[in-house]
A and B are shown apart, each in its own frame.
Chain A
Amino acid sequence: MKKYISRKIFMYLLTFFVAISINWLIPRMMPGDPILNLISKLSRQATNNARLYAELNQKFGMDKPLFSQYLLYLKNLTQGDLGQSIIFYPKTVAAIVSKALPYSLTLTIPAILLSFLVGNYLGALAARKKMLDNTVLPFWYVLTATPYLWLSMLLAWLLGSKLNLFPISGAYSFSRLPSATLSFVLDYLHHWVLPFASIFFVQLGGWAIGMRNLIIYELDADYSKYLRALGAPDKLVRRYAYRNARLPQITGLAVQLGVVVVGAITTEVVFGYPGIGLILAQAILGQDYFVVQGAFLMVVLCVLGANFFIDIAYIFIDPRVRHSMIGD
């Protein structure tokens, strides 16, 4: 058990290290000079921009050779210093990212979990009800193939603009500031539904199809046939089949986490939802190295963290893994 976990931890740390290094490198491959962008905002007021450029360049560490910048980045990371933003100067990256992260999490975590649970349930249902299978399955194929961006825009147009049921911009109404009241919570939820739905429905299709296929396979397996031959009730057979079918789905969940991040970005941009995705989009266009690094760091942490959590969960869910470790 210990060996399993320590090996896992080592792999994750290695992956993390590689990820943050690539994270650091990629923005710097973009052409252009972010300090110039920053100074252009000053240009109409200050008289000595050349000096300001030199100062800012030094402050952001851009005047050092590339490798020194990399080491500085790593050192700052260990201290939790994500640096200062360029396009949102003088706000620190940590301030911006920590403000945006909760919005992204409230969007993606419920969407992932609920689509997983509901999708698997519906998939299992379709696997044993032929009528459901014939009617709903093609719909799921459409859902899973739908780009997040397109579904977001469709929902925004139909349910937002046309039918006026939901707002299409922001995390809460412009006619209020956050307060600990029920009406604020309702308002927040009101704004949350469409972005959530965009991610939820696309993911739902995938899980449902996957589960449906797995259940059909399991119901046809030798042990299922044997149980039925022994006269076991249908419900029991289905329960065993479900437990087995669940495992590949959980592996799939770990993989899907990366994909859903991208989906969340486009959804946030369409709905102007102030999460990490929107910040990231702005930072990339504004060539803000530090915010891009900070945002990607959050993404890497979340995805790796969730993956690690699922790996550990496996020990409890899959008896074969448990036994193989004890055998170790």
Chain B
Amino acid sequence: MQRSKRFILLALAALLLTLPLAATAEKETDFGRKDTVYVTGGMWSIPTSFNPITWSVPAGLRGLTYESLLTYDALSDQLKPWLAKSAVWQADGKTLRVTLNPGTTWSDGSPLTAEDVAFTFTYGAWSNPFAGYLETANVIDDRTCDLVFSDPAYHSINLNLYIWPIIPQKIWSQIPAEEATDFEPSLEQSIGSGPYVIEGYDQDRVVYQRDDDWWGIKGLERSFPAKRVVYIKSMANNVAMAMLSQGRELDMANNYVSGLPAFTANNPALHTYYKGAPYNLPDNIVFLMPNHTKKPFNDTAFRRALAFAINTDDIVEIAYENMIVKPENSLGLLPHPGWAAYNNDDIAKNLGYSFNQDEASRLLDAAGYRDTDGDGLREYPDGSALSFKVSVPYGWTDWMDALRIITDNFREVGLDARPDFPDEGRYQNEMVKGEFDMLLNNWGAYRSSSPFSLYQFLFSTYTPVGEDEWTGNFGRYDNETLRNLVQEFNRIPMDKTQESNAIVRQIQTVHMQDMPYIPLWINGMWFVANTNTWTNWPGEVGSTNQNYPSLWTDKLQIGGLWMLSEIKLK
């Protein structure tokens, strides 16, 4: 008995000792270091299904494997060809003529034709962004397809032209449309047209391998230097940073990292878009959303007072260590060329707000919210106690820090505001059902080709409490005029900016006067890269890679793809 025990002990010791030796020795890896780019930040959960038209799309699938008709350069506000050479509105204003580039093929070699385009946009209801307002899709010839809209919502359509993946008719026509979002294509069925194919995956990674027969090598005169792209599931901050500074198995991270300024200062191999503050490009706007069905948030004067009470500088400097920027003005628009034409500064100046605690107090006093019992906190005009909570999901540490600053600001003007950190599930439930007091949210406020996406998010829907709101107006702000204005905006062609701005000015005027939702800060497009293996990242000195540095789902199509094709080996 004892001898075998001793043997086990010795074997164990031997094993433990040899392992570090095995590790430090020349490791034979399957993927060459110089052939592979490792990225993280865009994949939050295990890859569930390689279905490009369902939700929970594994990061990289749309863009690397499946392609959209066009791409959008989110830095210069230009639509660029991809699968399609052009997508032009015809004289009748309802027909969009899509012309494909020559030579487009699927990864199995078969041609990608206008039939596939027509199929993609007429397939099913859940799985089709144009369901409801596309009348027909006419295939003119191999390369040309006319999309005829019964109701041309130009801005929404534009968005989907560069986001929505084209799927192969020969595979998907065999799947009934009702089952489309459930369908789990096998690797053999995952036939896309993109520069990469899915090589393999596991719970914490997806490995894409370059398709050297990709049509775009000739058709777009573009190629991708990395033979493999490995998407790693988002991991704990410290682990990501440790791996990133080693640079052996991580080249780039698109997730928020607290302490980044200090980290990059100590490590010259790390690169952020801007060398100093704000380090990141602006990506989306975070709004404070009061619940209009609850007192005192149904009082416009109260809401306006809140806007004056918030010290955004503190949020930028303290909560975010200067990794973000605050909005340029009260309108809260993203500082981005695509939205510049709609940044009506005069409206912001005349009707907007700024950080001014005295003004906030004055407004609250004037509206009747005074401290009648001398406890330092204001009450309702009728004397009853006033108290509310503001929610952000637990675990979103930067938002949690920002929220504490906001509630402190509110307390400074005498409001009994408490920060609340429900777990994500409860936060979402309360938001969708309209059961919260006040919360922070940015779901639809991201960088896009026009601020229609923002106003659609904020003002286009109304769902009474008791039903579920999914698009954005979670606070149930009921303004039918505004809803109609947003729909009107959508129906004006993209190039008629003067006409649409006239509508947007009306929207913004109401926004400022009513202050239903308050823009707080502008989240950054988190991006940090290790330059030891791959270089020529966007933002580097002398870099030719002027593209939006994000590999998140649906941000590949606004710059990430271009970025991947232009990085170079050191």
Binding site for B on A (CB under 8 A): 31-34, 36-37, 39-50, 52-53, 85, 87-91, 96, 99-100, 114, 117-118, 121, 160-161, 164-166, 168-171, 173-179, 183, 186-187, 189-190, 193, 197, 239, 242, 272, 274, 278, 282, 285-287
Contact = CB atoms under 8 A, between A and B. Distances in A.
B55 A193 contact: no
A169 B428 contact: no
Interface centre among A37, A40, A286 (most CB of B within 10 A): A40
B36 A175 contact: yes
Contacts of B267: none
Interface centre among B22, B33, B183, B425 (most CB of A within 10 A): B425
B425 A274 contact: no
B30 A169 contact: no
Nearest to B250: A174
Interface of B: 1-2, 5-6, 8-9, 12, 15-16, 19-20, 22-24, 27-31, 33, 36, 38, 45-46, 48-49, 54-56, 125-126, 129, 131-132, 181-184, 199-200, 202-205, 207, 230, 232, 235-236, 239, 242-243, 246, 249-250, 423-426, 428-429, 432-433, 443-444, 467-468, 470-471
A87 B433 CA distance: 20
Contacts of B204: 169-171, 272, 274
B444 to A, nearest CB: 7
A100 B46 CA distance: 12
19 contacts: A36-B425, A42-B55, A43-B443, A44-B444, A47-B125, A48-B125, A85-B48, A88-B45, A90-B49, A90-B181, A100-B203, A117-B5, A160-B242, A164-B246, A165-B23, A170-B205, A175-B31, A176-B30, A239-B1
Contacts of A285: 423-425
A42 B51 CA distance: 13
B239 A175 contact: no
Contacts, number: 158
B425 A183 contact: no
A40 B22 contact: no
A171 B203 CA distance: 10
B154 to A, nearest CB: 17
Given A32-B426, A175-B31, A190 B19 contact: yes
A174 B45 contact: no
Nearest to A172: B202
A52 B5 CA distance: 60
Nearest to A114: B12
A176 B230 CA distance: 10
A279 B54 CA distance: 22
Nearest to A274: B203
Contact of A161 (B1, B22, B242): B242
A287 to B, nearest CB: 4
B48 A36 contact: no
Nearest to B183: A90
A179 B433 CA distance: 48
Contact of A91 (B5, B9, B49): B49
